[in-house]
Chains A and B, each alone.
Chain A
């Protein structure tokens, strides 16, 4: 997607997780977390597009994403 650009804001992800867990992160966990996040996004968007199709929408609407969010989050719950 973005060749020269940095693939993702690593420090941001780190900060987010740090703030939520109140723990420090070991060296490369944030990458794993980000990968998991990508998986999550993939799953979310796939489900959302499916539900959007079912609802007969052209684009993915916010509503279809809302619908899917719960399940997706639950699926990615530890």
Chain B
């Protein structure tokens, strides 16, 4: 028997944020006496790195070092409301709320610094290294800790801010389906290369080469990890996973990792990706959501590649070896049909 190779492509969009909107998130920021900024949230980090990227966004907007920013989440007594981490929404929604809160806190910080520097707040800027300076004369500066101490003990001012972001909920016209479902759309294209063993029906994904356009990246390493992890999950969905192997029959439902088939490191294909950045109009620093779509795009690319390899169009996933062998019986690419009745 033979090993057949094929290539397939898929190009997809993915909406950022809860469908139709109406999903608020809040952030509160305050400075401690010595200039540590605490961002209070009730948002959840699923492992994608929310606690990290939100600290980056907060530090950037405040104009203070990353190390000066703490994330305090998730506690409903101390953190203001967040709709939750899903729908590729968290960086977009929470990030926007943090920017709003940080701008308010930054304004107070600059006003206090202006008093200390005997300058106008409009003439001040932050250097991102922990100092506030007079634009044009950087030697006239004051460090953040001194500003925070002065705010607390000299001026009685709270360096703090409130942030809230919501995309107003869109109604759906029940007759036409007219609606505003998304905040922004990210895009991806995946090229998959596969090899099909016509004797066993097994598919090896040789490579997944992709381009992702995700607005601006707050943390490129974390975006990279989403792309690779998502590519692997997409491959897993395309070829292996199901809770009902003979769907719609509910029989043979797996109850353990030994029965629920997920590929392991041996099945990891060569993954290459390029990330394009076109800022979204409404994302914090131009971000779009990336978390979910990375698992979507590889599925049709892989299935199209298999169809290309065997010459039979496949229309369902997971494409298990059994389904491949059955499809091969119809393949014009094989002179001898695969043995049946095995």
User: Do they bind each other?
Assistant: no
B interface residues with partner A (beta carbon < 8 Å)? none
A interface residues with partner B (beta carbon < 8 Å)? none
